[in-house]
């Protein structure tokens, strides 16, 4: 797993483009991935498959002709999805396009701008502080054009058609724990399950997709088949040596929730169990109210909670072979437990809409399948990848959208997210104006 990660680390990945293809090609040396190409412009629920982005080179040169920022030294230096540029500008103007983390002056941040056409560079705050007031040559040799979104899928047929889904994302550039750890562990699990497939009751499906838009695209294409998914996990941040964190499925009482919690208690190691929250990774889409799949997420140190997260410090020295091995073994034990319990359990779906008898405030999400694209309505931040999580207003939108399935009252949502009801109502009004929510 560590060797595979070392090979994948230098590749500049994004939500589309050749970096993803190269990554999937290398994974295909281990498991026979089915690679899908979905054309730019295809409508997937409320979203559109974006234009494809590729980059050859990028740098900033000072007046002496020295490259003071060089994409070839670290692909984190480029604001992911930057449009091409080639011009000379003064420091003041350049600064508007530079991103740093003053609190972690040695580290380069990871930033994206998938849906707003702009350009930018990321650098350590130490390097930023050294910039003189002079002219700089900025050069980005990138291309944004109609192409496709690429993802990989691997299916292992078991005795039953019921499926266990493992999903990880392949859109982050040189970052290890988030999420090459998920990629290499998924590959290793897929390999070992293939070898043992005759003994498997369940069928297994592995997804290697770009985060968010990949999950939305996959769900949109495979909507008819998702009923087969009996259990699932989003695999991310599994390569460090931190304690395990389990984020429960949306309902919180599915078989996978019970099995993983029991397993963590039995391990006698410190661990954290979190209730589902509608921010995070692709569980946001899989557990949107229109799907509500029994999919949880297992991590060690959770995204957003370790200081290396979304910076150049999340590198090959931050993750370890022991960390990967421990995560892999834990997942194998979880799979064995799911297999052993194959006959006994069945997930019960509970899709009733609550009758509103008590004059409670209840909203209904009018776009329940995956998140609506808040960005195109001006309701989302334009630069992605913030270390300190998303802003409170977006958090409120996501809580309202995820739990407004008719079954939860405003009071119940408020209790879950710890945002006062009167605050939530203000955000609900904005969603109502945007035809994303209605009062029932
Ligand atoms: Zn991330």
Domain extents in the chain:
2-49+149-340, 52-145, 363-439
Going through 237-310 in order, the beta strands assigned E by DSSP cover: 244-247, 271-274, 295-299
Sequence-ordered list of residues with C-beta below 8 angstroms from that of 3, at least 6 positions apart, any chain: none
Local confidence pLDDT in tens for the 440 residues of the chain: 999 999 999 999 999 999 999 999 999 999 999 999 999 999 999 999 999 999 999 999 999 999 999 999 999 999 999 999 999 999 999 999 999 999 999 999 999 999 999 999 999 999 999 999 999 999 999 999 999 999 999 999 999 999 999 999 999 999 999 999 999 999 999 999 999 999 999 999 999 999 999 999 999 999 999 999 999 999 999 999 999 999 999 999 999 999 999 999 999 999 999 999 999 999 999 999 999 999 999 999 999 999 999 999 999 999 999 999 999 999 999 999 999 999 745 655 555 555 566 788 999 999 999 999 999 999 998 888 888 778 889 999 999 999 999 999 999 999 999 999 999 999 999 999 999 999 99
Neighbours of ion ligand 1 (CB under 5 A): 178
Q: How many C-beta atoms surround the C-beta of residue 345 within 10 A?
A: 15
| Domain at 2-49+149-340, CATH homologous superfamily | Zn peptidases (3.40.630.10)
Distance CA 323, CA 257 (A): 22
In this structure, are residues 255 and 339 in contact, taking their beta carbons and an 8 Å threshold? Answer: no
Secondary-structure percent of the chain, ordered helix, strand, coil, rounded to 5? 30, 25, 45
Span from the CA of 183 to the centroid of ligand 1 (angstroms): 13
Q: Ligand 1 centre from 411 Cα, in Å?
A: 31
Return the pLDDT at 346. Answer: 61
Check: CB of residue 183 under 8 Å from CB of residue 168: yes
C-alpha distances (whole Å) from 338 to each of 203, 256, 351, 377 are 12, 8, 24, 42
- CATH fold of 52-145, please? Glucose Oxidase; domain 1 (3.50.30)
**Among 65, 55, 64, 74, CA closest to 17:** 55
Locate tokens 């799911």: which residue? 338
Tell me if the bond preceding 67 is cis, omega within 30° of 0.
no
- Least Cα distance to 363 among 276, 293, 280, 434 occurs for 434
User: Alpha-carbon distance 212 to 224, whole Å?
Assistant: 20
161-184 per-residue burial string, b: 16 or more CB within 10 A, e: under 16: ebbbbbbbbbbbbbbbbbbbbbbb
> In this structure, are residues 364 and 406 in contact, taking their beta carbons and an 8 Å threshold?
yes
Distance from the alpha carbon of residue 308 to the mean position of ligand 1, in angstroms: 11
- Residue 249 Cα to ligand 1 middle (Å): 20
3-state secondary structure of 221: helix
Distance 113 CA to ligand 1 centre (A): 13
3-class SS at 201? coil
Distance 124 CA to ligand 1 centre (A): 19
Ligand 1 center to 198 CA (angstroms): 35
Count the Cβ atoms, other than its own, within 10 Å of residue 391.
12
Angle formed at CA 356 by CA 352 and CA 358, multiple of 5 degrees:
135
Element (H, E) at 210: none
CA 353–ligand 1 middle distance (angstroms) = 34
Is there a contact between 417 and 390 (Cβ–Cβ < 8 Å)? Answer: no
CATH number belonging to the domain at 363-439, selected among 3.40.50.300, 3.30.465.10, 3.60.15.10, 1.10.10.10: 1.10.10.10
Strand partners, 34: 153
| Ligand 1 geometric centre to CA of 303 (Å) | 7
Nearest 5°: phi and psi at 426?
-60, -45
φ/ψ (deg, to 5) at 26: -70, -40
CA of residue 240 to ligand 1 center, whole Å: 15
Q: Are strands 163-169 and 229-235 parallel, antiparallel or unpaired?
A: parallel
Give the distance (Å) from ligand 1 centre to CA of residue 311: 10
Distance 31 CA to ligand 1 centre (A): 24
Calculate how far, in angstroms, residue 314's C-alpha sits from the geometric centre of ligand 1.
Answer: 11
């Amino acid at each position: 797993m560590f060797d595979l990660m070392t090979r994948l680390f230098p590749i500049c990945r994004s939500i589309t483009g050749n970096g993803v293809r190269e990554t999937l090609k290398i994974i295909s040396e281990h498991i026979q991935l089915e690679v899908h190409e979905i054309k730019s412009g295809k409508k997937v629920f409320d979203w559109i498959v974006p234009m494809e982005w590729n980059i050859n080179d990028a740098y900033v040169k000072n007046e002496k002709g020295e490259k003071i920022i060089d994409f070839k030294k670290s692909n984190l230096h480029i604001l992911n999805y930057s449009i091409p540029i080639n011009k000379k500008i003064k420091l003041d103007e350049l600064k508007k396009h530079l991103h740093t983390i003053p609190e972690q002056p040695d580290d380069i941040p990871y930033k994206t701008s998938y849906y707003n056409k702009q350009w930018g560079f990321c650098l350590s705050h130490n390097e930023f502080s050294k910039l003189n007031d002079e002219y700089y040559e900025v050069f980005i040799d990138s291309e944004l054009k109609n192409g496709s979104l690429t993802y990989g899928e691997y299916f292992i047929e078991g005795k039953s058609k019921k499926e266990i889904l493992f999903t990880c994302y392949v859109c982050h550039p040189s970052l290890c724990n988030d999420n090459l750890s998920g990629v290499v562990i998924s590959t290793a699990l897929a390999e070992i399950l293939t070898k043992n497939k005759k003994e498997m009751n369940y069928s297994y499906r592995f997804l290697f997709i770009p985060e968010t838009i990949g999950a939305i695209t996959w769900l949109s294409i495979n909507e008819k088949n998702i009923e087969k998914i009996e259990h699932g996990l989003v695999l991310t941040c599994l390569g460090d040596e931190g304690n395990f964190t389990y984020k429960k499925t949306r309902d919180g009482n599915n078989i996978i929730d019970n099995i993983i919690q029991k397993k963590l208690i039995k391990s006698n190691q410190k661990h954290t169990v979190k209730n589902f929250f509608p921010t995070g990774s692709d569980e946001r889409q899989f557990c949107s109210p229109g799907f509500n799949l029994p999919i949880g997420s297992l991590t060690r140190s959770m995204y957003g909670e370790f200081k290396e997260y979304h910076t150049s410090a999340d590198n090959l020295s931050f993750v370890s072979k022991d960390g990967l091995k421990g995560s892999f073994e834990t997942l194998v034990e979880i799979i064995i437990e799911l297999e052993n319990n194959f006959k006994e359990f069945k997930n019960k779906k509970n899709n009733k809409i609550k009758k509103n008898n008590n004059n409670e405030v209840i909203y209904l999400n009018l776009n329940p399948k995956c998140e609506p694209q808040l960005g195109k309505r001006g309701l989302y931040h334009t630069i992605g990848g913030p270390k300190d999580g998303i802003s409170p207003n977006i958090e409120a939108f996501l809580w309202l959208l995820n739990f407004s399935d008719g079954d939860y009252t405003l009071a119940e949502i408020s209790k879950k997210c710890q945002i006062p009801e009167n605050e939530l109502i203000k955000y609900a009004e904005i969603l109502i104006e945007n035809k994303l929510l209605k009062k029932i």
